[in-house]
Amino acid sequence: MGHRTPLYEEHVKAGARIVDFGGWDMPLHYGSQIAEHHAVRRQAGIFDVSHMRAVEVRGERARDFLRHVLANDVDRLAVPGKALYGCLLNEQGGVLDDLITYFIAPDWFRLIVNAGPAERDIAWLRGHAGAFAVDIAPRPDLAMIAVQGPQADAAASRVLDAAAFAALGRLPPFHAAFTGDSFVARTGYTGEQGFEMLVDAHEVAALWTRFVAQGVAPAGLGARDTLRLEAGMNLYGHEMDEQVSPLESGLAWTVNLATDREFIGRSALLRQRAQGLARRLTGLVLQGAGVVRAGQEVRGSFGVGTVTSGSFSPTLSRGIGLVRVPLAALDGEVCALAGRSGQALAARLVAPPFVRHGRVLIDL
């Protein structure tokens, strides 16, 4: 038995198929992951993301500390409530985790890290915290839900109290705010509008039930994966890990090398850049029937690439994937995916995202 979130009983009651994810017993789907996927693209869905860990970074030098340990620069966060996506790197420039940092106050930042690497992240952060005299405090007392889809705010208007809904309404993308005891953020992992909420673990089941009563569909990790894949978003352990540079994972935009800020992994990334990168991450779409699977090989005039994430896109009704290819490979190039029995499936490289805000963004 793995760790269980405060919503575990709700998942079981709703008929979820439970699977292990990063050491947690999580819902894969509640009957049909494709139906859940469509619900998020077309109406609204609710995800339990309480397996992800909130970690507080507090202290007068919290900003200096995060400028040292994160590859993205928290100096980009000028306004309290603003969020920043970025990577935690090791000295070799490999990715320890990808995370969101919320700027709450000059002496208080909140990180949201992935379930699998969470313990390692916390140990790593504490290992580097001493010189900055900051406190690293995980928040197991908080649970997290994501409400996503074009109808997410309409549901929120009926579920949240007036003050909380007004606060949500004022939030620009990638900003967060406290409303009472809960923390609401304009973030997500689906490519749709919506929000995420961090709330008291004892209160999350009641909140979940109220959203579901408003017609918001419980959605599991299966739909979460196909939604993020269509939206061209990376998944830790697939698109990047300790062995892979963010510069070869489509994450150069999250690494600020423009200033002389000394952060962990910087010299390794500068060295890689000077030597020249070998690979890059892009998208892949099958021309005919089939499903793309992680680990499959792709061959084209560019050489050989490897699928890092693959699935079936419910929105496109096509197999799609993210693929690491030689740097010279151009989007639009035709290529062949090696199927499970070795047969070649016709495919094409495409620049992700595939789908966002309900709209198809690639040519089929």
Partner 1 sequence: MSKVPGDLRYTKSHEWVRAAGADIVVGITDHAQDLMGDMVFVELPKPGTELVVGKECAVVESVKAASDVYAPLAGEVTEVNEALAGAPETLNSDPYGEGWLFKLRPHDPEAVRALLDAAAYESLLASEG
Closest distance between partner 1 and the C-beta of residue 340, in Å? 6
Interacting residue ranges for partner 1, rule: CB under 8 A: 17, 28-29, 32-34, 222, 226, 289-291, 293, 311-312, 314, 340
Q: Which is nearer to partner 1, 314 or 352 (CB)?
A: 314
Q: Which is nearer to partner 1, 33 or 114 (CB)?
A: 33
Q: Which is nearer to partner 1, 35 or 257 (CB)?
A: 35
Closest distance between partner 1 and the C-beta of residue 124, in Å? 33
Q: Which is nearer to partner 1, 45 or 290 (CB)?
A: 290
Q: Which is nearer to partner 1, 103 or 312 (CB)?
A: 312
Nearest to 211 by CA among 21, 30, 37, 48: 48
Closest distance between partner 1 and the C-beta of residue 225, in Å? 9
Closest distance between partner 1 and the C-beta of residue 15, in Å? 11
Q: Which is nearer to partner 1, 251 or 345 (CB)?
A: 345
Closest distance between partner 1 and the C-beta of residue 297, in Å? 16
Closest distance between partner 1 and the C-beta of residue 228, in Å? 14
40: which residues sit within 8 A by CB, 6+ positions away?
A: 148, 149, 190, 192, 217, 219, 223, 227
